[in-house]
Amino acid sequence: MLFNLRRPPFDETSVRQAFSLGTDYESLAQQVMDGVSDTATGFYPPKFSWAISNQRTDTQEAKRLLDEAGWIVAADGVRMKNNTSLEAVFLVYPQQPDFTSIVTAMQAQLKEIGFRVNIRQVDAIEAAMKNPSAWNVAIYSPGIVTTGGSPDSHLTGNLTTTGEHNHSGISDLELDKTVDELGRTFDTSKRHELLARIQQIVIVEKAYEVRPVFARSRVVVGRNFRDYQPSPQLHHVIYETRPSD
């Protein structure tokens, strides 16, 4: 989930944090996706050695944050502030049909804490996000690591101030410096330390993004490959590949 920081209401950190805390991640994975996806617990799935679990559901905390930020519940249940509704245009796209189911469920979940979510389908999600006046939050699947398993280029492109795919309008000096340092660091323990800090900024402190579910890698296998375990890295299987490979 990408927030548009260039316009209300997600220009407020507390609103983004409330959105994140008001989302029931276990329900999205286990009920909406019928257990095909895993419950999202942070920025990275736990199969990555640097992943930390820092994304959670707490509707009472979400309501408290909105109360303190001055968003008052109106008669229809939608919160108001300065005569403005806590309303969001949520972009989905047809190439990922599961996303519509996820967003529809989130629409109901977020209503419980005072959001009004309007779902809008677009043909080309990246093109739509380039118009900051047309959306508030979007569900998107750009990938989180390279085909070799490195997170660096994704973080640079999506989360830094000058990133090519930074459609949210994020401009965070500490995040820029930490991502830049990560790209110049080769020591594994130091990299994990930097990645942990990045995850804390993005998921908790600034709530720049939300992970609704963790999608599982999918492969089609035959009898000889029945024990093959999918990986976050892309291993290309061709007609000459043997099970021992």
Q: What is the CATH number of the domain that holds 151?
A: 3.10.105.10
Report yes or no on 244 lying in a domain: no
Q: What pLDDT, on a 0 to 100 scale, did the predictor assign at position 222?
A: 82
pLDDT tens per residue across span 52-70:
999 999 999 999 999 999 9
186 band by pLDDT with thresholds 50, 70 and 90 = very high
Report yes or no on 84 lying in a domain: yes
Angle at which helix 188-199 crosses helix 173-183, to 10 degrees, equals 160
pLDDT tens per residue across span 155-184:
999 999 999 999 999 999 999 999 999 999
Instruction: State yes or no: pLDDT of 32 exceeds 60.
Output: yes
For 17-28, what is the mean pLDDT? Answer: 98
pLDDT tens per residue across span 65-89:
999 999 999 999 999 999 999 999 9
**How many structural domains are present in the chain?**
1
pLDDT tens per residue across span 103-124:
999 999 999 999 999 999 999 9
pLDDT tens per residue across span 44-54:
999 899 999 99
Mean of the per-residue pLDDT values of the chain: 93
For 214-234, what is the mean pLDDT? Answer: 76
Are the CB atoms for 169 and 138 separated by under 8 Å? no
pTM above 0.85, yes or no: yes
Q: What pLDDT, on a 0 to 100 scale, did the predictor assign at position 244?
A: 65
Report yes or no on 12 lying in a domain: yes
Instruction: State yes or no: pLDDT of 245 exceeds 60.
Output: no
SS3 97: helix
Q: Which domain holds residue 171?
A: 2-216
Q: What pLDDT, on a 0 to 100 scale, did the predictor assign at position 204?
A: 98
Residue type, 116: R
Nearest alpha carbon to residue 152 among 189, 198, 201:
198
Q: What pLDDT, on a 0 to 100 scale, did the predictor assign at position 230?
A: 72
For 203-230, what is the mean pLDDT? Answer: 86
Q: What pLDDT, on a 0 to 100 scale, did the predictor assign at position 219?
A: 76
Nearest alpha carbon to residue 109 among 203, 206, 212, 3:
212
Longest dimension (CA), the chain: 66
Report yes or no on 76 lying in a domain: yes
Report yes or no on 234 lying in a domain: no
For residue 13, report the phi and psi dihedrals to the nearest 5 degrees.
-60, -40
Report yes or no on 193 lying in a domain: yes
Q: What pLDDT, on a 0 to 100 scale, did the predictor assign at position 218?
A: 73
Report yes or no on 83 lying in a domain: yes
Nearest alpha carbon to residue 119 among 142, 94, 141:
94
Q: Is 189 exposed, middle or buried (0-12, 13-18, 19+ CB in 10 A)?
A: exposed
